[in-house]
Structures are given as C-alpha cells and as structure tokens.
Structure 1
Amino acid sequence: MTAVRTPARSALRTLAALCAVALLGAPGVAARAGQPHEPDLRPALRQAVADGFPGAVAYARDGAREARAAAGVADTRTGAPARPQQRFRIASNTKAFVATVLLQLEGERRLSLDDSVEKWLPGLVQGHGNDGSAITVRQLLDHTAGLYDPTTEPAFWAPYLEDGDRDHVYAPREVVARAVRHAPTFPPGTGWAYSNTNYLVAGLVVEAVTGRSAGDEIQRRILDPLDLDRTALPTTDPDVPGPHLHGYDLKGADLTRFSPSYDWTAGAMISTVDDLARFQRALFGGKLLAPAQQRALLTPVDVPGAPAYGLGVQRREVPCPDGPVTVWGSDGAGPGYTSVAAATEDGRRQLVLAVTVFDIAAQLRGEPPVPRSKALARAQQAALCD
C-alpha cells in the first residue's frame, strides 16, 4: 500500500508553516506539571499580529479553568478590535461535524461504514476508473477513497479570484462530477490523500440516508443539543452573519465575502472559538457517539506513511519542553481564515485558535499561504503543555 498526499486545500501543511519555530524556543509555562493552570494566550496572539495576521482569537481550557484572548483587529477598514466571541469560517474543521453525523447514523443502524457509495448514491461516482461500488463510507471519512480533488486546480477558483464573482455557486454534485472526470489518485483503500471531494460525497450520503439536508442533520443532532447557537452550515450565502472577523489574503485584500458553496460539507461551516471547543469537548468526551462509533472515530487509518487520521479528526504530537503531548483535533484553512482545534488525549486541556489570513491564490502558486509565524507554537505550549 502506498500513502499519497495531494496538495489539497487543507490546514495540514499550513499548520506546519505556523509551527516552523520549535516550541522549545518559546517561553516556559508557569504551572507545575500535572497541575491545572490558566493559560496565558496573549503573548501568542500578539505574536500572530506582529507576524502579519490582522486578527487572532483563541480559547484555552485546563480542567475547569478557561481562558479567552484576542489581538489585532476584526476589520482593517474600520479598525474594530478582534474579540473572542466573533465568528469566522472554520473550513475543514467542518469535516468532524459531518463524520459525527454519519457515525451517529451507523449507531442507529441506518447505515454501515462499510456500505458502498453506490448503495446510497447510484451512478454518482462512475467513469474514468472511478467506481462508487468499490468505495465505502469509511474510506470517504478517512481519505482512503482515492477521489480526485478539483479544488487543487487554479481553474476551479477562476470565478472567484479572476472574475471577482464572490457569489459564484458550485453545487456539490457539480464538484463531484468535475472530480470523476479524473482517474482516481489510487485504487480505494490502497493509499491516503486528503480530498475535499470525499466529504462532499459524504454529505450527499447523509442526505440520501435521512431524506433531510445535511445542514438540518448537523443542526438537530449537534448544534441544537449542544447549544451551539453561533455555529451554522451555510450553503450559498457569501456573507458571514453577525459579529465576525474579516479574513484576508497576504496582500490585505478582504476575502470575507466568499460563496461557501464549493466547500459545503467539506468545509463551509461558520463558528466561534467557544462553540468549536464545546463541540470537541462533547465529541472527544464520548457524549455524541456510542462506544463502537467512538472507537471508529479515533482509529487512525492503516496506511504506511499516512498521518494518524481517524474519521474527520487527526491525532498528532505537540512538542513540549518536557516531551511531546498527544492531542486529537482538527484544523481548517480557506480563503481568509486559518484555524486549529485540539484537545489532549485525557481531555483535560484544549486549544482553539483562529487567525485571519489564508491566501488561496498563493497556495495555488505553490507559495506559503500564511505569514511565517511562531504564534501557534507559543499558543500550543501555553494551552496544551504541562
């Protein structure tokens, strides 16, 4: 089996850039190992602004002790300050919500993760070597399906970036149709490649199983029970409603107004640091899934060389002065915004951080899409290290 990575629009590579400076060079944490402390996020967020992000917001928790902080501005035009309560586009953090819905449906015996895509979406994934009968729901969720990702192509973004049509709508089936015009990246189950196409198909499976929209299912299964009233899954509305952070490219162009249609269940959700933290606390705390599905969520894909990716979430090691700390979480990067959400394996500590630059045009050129920064390293040490 061969692990394959495509240059999909994900925060996985972006976070590596943000972490380019080792944590061992960051200031130490005052608390004693194993003792709850109140994380001081302010130096990290000030660092983010100094490094070129107009705004930065974060939430951290150690046990029952919570901390929130913000730095910079929410809007460079007005100079309004960034605040932790403001919304932002969470991009691929959306995938954890979608995976949760499908795992709940399996727990209700309404589908199986081993069901084929063809069973639920006949004829959708066919042609040019693609075969929906050979792809399972599980393979969609852990990125071993091998489906091509058209969002890696500059031509895909031309309506938004070249024509300036921020209202342009891509229907999910249109994006999938563009994907299956290409041969698979690899035969299903034989490799790993991050692809937003996987989660568009997953959203369509949710709708086929339930007879309701994916947004409605996320709302009634997750957002309403957890009182996540500042979180939503828009479909075509290009605006971010209510108090929000504006997002920018590297030259300072405002990318806030941007149709989320192309991303849908792969990354169109809007949230806040508090709401995202509450969702992950419930998810990793076992409050949203039955035990069998919880195990499936946290079982990394078995492909040599692949990251420790479960179902919509990923395990990774955070470098700390006293040795690495294992965390589970998700991340997101899309036009104007970059974010990360993580929790330690024991659930005691959490961090959600959002900064307001992601330059999709730069990424398509093969250039870094965010400023080089020590900010994430400093925030992770403050929030996640003993």
Structure 2
Amino acid sequence: MNTQSFYLALTSCAVTLALSACGASNKAAPQIAEPTPLVIDFQALLDSSVKGEIPGVVLYVDSPSRHFYGAAGIADLDEQTPMQIDARIPNGSAGKKLTALLAAMLVDEQLLDLDAPISHYLPENVTTQIEFADDMTARHLLQHSAGLFDYLNDSDGAFYNAVLNDPFSLKTDSYAMQFVYGQGAHFAPGEGWRYSNSGYLVTGLILDNILGEHHSRAMRRQVFEPFGLSSMSYGGIEKDFAAINSGYFLNVNERINTKPYYLNIGVADAPVVGTAKDMADLLRIIVSGEQLSRVSYNLLMGEDSFIPTGIDDLEYSLGLFKEVINGKEVIHHNGSELGYATYNFYIKESSTSVAILVNCNGYEACDKEHKVLYNQVLRELLK
C-alpha cells in the first residue's frame, strides 16, 4: 500500500470509529430482546468468532458467580502464533478512565482544582491558542463539555498524515496539540456535550505541569503498581515494558499490521496498552470504589458527576459512560485504534466486569464481526 492510500484509510477509520467504540456515542448496545435462558459456552463462542475475518480474540469475564478467561485465533499472521490470554494491545479510548482516575487522585491530594480555569495550570503560549481557555476547566475537558476541536475526528486526517510521514519519533500530547491550536470551538465550555479526544490531551498537559514530570510516571506509581495492573504500560513512553500484539487493518484487499505505528504514540486520550484481565480489573476497581479514596470515587462514579450527553439516556462522568440496558445499569468505555478494538463494560447488578480484545479493527468486515461477538457476550451476561 502506498502512503496516500494508507493515509486515506486511516482518515476514514478515524471518522467511522468516532461513532462507535472510541468516540461520539460509545453506546454499549441497543436494547436487547428477551434472552433465552441457555448458558453460552464462551470458549466455543470465541472459537467460532475467529473462523471469519477476526484473526484473534481474548475474553475475560469476572463476577461472583461466573469466571472465564480464554483466547482463540491467531496473534500474528506472519508468524502464525496463537493468540494468548495475556495479549497486550493499545486499548484506545478505553484508557481514558486512567487519565481521569489520575486527575481525580490529584484532586484528592489538593494539587488540582477541576473547576479552576485551565489558564491557572497552563502557560499563555498554550491557552492563547485555545478558544474560551479562560472559561474552560479540567472538569469540562474530562466530561467532554469543553466544546474543543477534536484533533482526530475534526482534522481531516492531519494527525494520521503526520504519523505516516514520521512514524519513528515519539508523539505525545504536546505534539498532538499542534492540530488543535487555533481551531474554533464547537460551543462555549459547559454549553453542550461533544466527544473530543483533545480534552484529554489538554488534561495530559495540565497533569504534566502539576507533577513536574510526564504523568505516565505518576500513573505507574499511583495506579498500575498499587492496583496490581501488571500488564499495563503507557503507550509510546514505556515502549520497552513488554511486547505489543500485532493488529490488522484491511484496505483495498491489502492487510496491514498496524503495530509499528503505535510503538511511538503516547497520548492521554488513549494512554494505555494492556491485557483483557487488567482492563476488566481496572473497571471493577473504579466502579466498586474499594481501593479508591472517597474523593476519587465520587468524582468518577458519583451521581452528580454524570452529565447527559444528549444521546438517548447515555450519561458521561470522567472517562466513563453510564446507561441502562434491559433494566440493568452498565458502566462502560470501549476503545478503537486502527487494527485494535477493546470492549470494556461492567454490569452493576451482577458485579460483572468484562473486557474483550480483538486484533483487527477499522474496516467493515472485521468491525461487523467483533460487534456481533460483543453483543452476544453482553446479551448472555444481562440474563
């Protein structure tokens, strides 16, 4: 594939995925018809799912009454290595909850005021290039109510084009912000809701300034290590931590391994690489609040923290969506990258935490199949 055609594919993927796992609505699923009482064999379901377009998949399910951890298919098509349960992939926007959690911890330490203007934490050479910066707060950024131009979905592929032109240099929040500076806002802060990855980039810059170091170090000290999330690493920054699984995208019948493009991207809107188990365990920790301070828990899970998105009954707090499906409250935030999909949800009634990892994404044949798999798993667990 030449650079131009790959660029077009990346751009198309960004726009499409904004309406599914990574951006805009991120709805867990439509209301599901009354399920049958039969119990699904999850391993058989995974084995069946990799007979088509999906190369490999991992599923982790954990609840007081049911536990499953399995994999199926191929991890690397060139080497024909089997998918393992400990496969690590870039988790895309499912990692936003980590950035939000770290911000909440800094609030608890009285280092961050979510309702102070961002100009309190950022220098003028940053804030003068962001419309409404004097009225914008970290809470607006984390709740997607800032109205910020989205560097991925509003930029006509400019970020991806830059990655293709220079795939080997590290891309952090400061780098990605060049595609936001000088762009007009969609609305004044607090005057609407619109999913914007850029809000988490700005949050990353705020965290760096408060901490006096890149926030990945605090994320390791305060989240990864104390919570036992041993597979997790900050994408791009901690590139030597452990291997990343291959991921696949198809364009004009040419299959592309997108892993090399993610080795040098480390941004706060999609910060983490991890396993299915660790993604599910992280979500359980947040929803249960058992290992969080009262302040951190309330900021992420308190009723007052969730705001309406204007999309059906979907609500958003800091890094988390909430909705009621078949009468049951579901907390979720999925993630999409080119070549990788992460589904991550928690059913409160049954205390069930789930993560699904797939190593293809961003084209119709694959997306259709892993969405079917996701709905089958969700339907089973909502019984």
Report the TM-score range of the alignment, normalised by the length of the smaller protein: 0.7 to 0.9
For residues 301-330 of structure 1, the C-alpha deviation after alignment (integer angstroms, 9 at most, x for no partner) is 245447311100111334xxxx34221122
Counterpart for residue 272 of structure 1: 275
- For 1:145 and 1:258, locate their aligned partners in 2 and report how far apart those are by CA, in whole Å: 29
Task: Figure out how many residues of one structure are paired with residues of the other and give that number.
Answer: 359
> Is 1:310 matched with 2:308?
no
Cα distance change of structure 1 residues 347 and 120 upon mapping to structure 2, 3 Å threshold: farther
Structure 1 unpaired stretches of 5+: 1-5, 31-38
- For 1:226 and 1:13, locate their aligned partners in 2 and report how far apart those are by CA, in whole Å: 25
List, as ranges, runs of 4+ consecutive aligned residues in structure 1 with deviation greater than 6 Å: 14-22, 237-240
| 1:186-335 equivalent positions in 2, closer than 5 A | 186-235=187-236, 241-242=242-243, 244-250=244-250, 251-259=254-262, 261-298=264-301, 299-302=305-308, 304-305=310-311, 307-318=314-325, 323-335=326-338
Query: Which of these residues, 4, 12, 24, is aligned with residue 20 of structure 2?
Result: 12
Deviation of the 1:125 alpha carbon: 4.3
Whether the aligned pair in 2 keeps the contact of 1:48 and 1:355 (CA below 8 Å) is no
Aligned Cα RMSD in Å? 3.0
Deviation of the 1:300 alpha carbon: 1.6
> Is 1:371 matched with 2:372?
no
Structure 2 unpaired stretches of 5+: 1-13
Which structure has the higher relative contact order (CA within 8 Å, separation 6+)? Answer: 1
Deviation of the 1:61 alpha carbon: 1.3
3-state DSSP of counterpart to 1:328: strand
Deviation of the 1:122 alpha carbon: 2.3
TM-score between both structures, scaled by the size of structure 2:
0.83
| 1:1-386 equivalent positions in 2, closer than 5 A | 7=15, 10=18, 12=20, 23-24=32-33, 28-30=37-39, 40-63=41-64, 65-127=66-128, 130-152=131-153, 153-161=156-164, 163=165, 165-235=166-236, 241-242=242-243, 244-250=244-250, 251-259=254-262, 261-298=264-301, 299-302=305-308, 304-305=310-311, 307-318=314-325, 323-346=326-349, 348-359=351-362, 370-372=367-369, 373-382=371-380, 384-386=381-383
- For 1:138 and 1:19, locate their aligned partners in 2 and report how far apart those are by CA, in whole Å: 23
Deviation of the 1:218 alpha carbon: 0.5
- For 1:47 and 1:247, locate their aligned partners in 2 and report how far apart those are by CA, in whole Å: 19
Instruction: Give the residue type in structure 2 aligned to 1:283.
Output: I
The percent of aligned pairs where both chains have the same amino acid is 22
TM-score between both structures, scaled by the size of structure 1:
0.83
- For 2:169 and 2:320, locate their aligned partners in 1 and report how far apart those are by CA, in whole Å: 29
For residues 26-46 of structure 1, the C-alpha deviation after alignment (integer angstroms, 9 at most, x for no partner) is 76443xxxxxxxx73224323
- For 1:128 and 1:231, locate their aligned partners in 2 and report how far apart those are by CA, in whole Å: 33
- For 2:16 and 2:195, locate their aligned partners in 1 and report how far apart those are by CA, in whole Å: 6
Instruction: Give the residue type in structure 2 aligned to 1:293.
Output: S
Cα distance change of structure 1 residues 259 and 353 upon mapping to structure 2, 3 Å threshold: closer
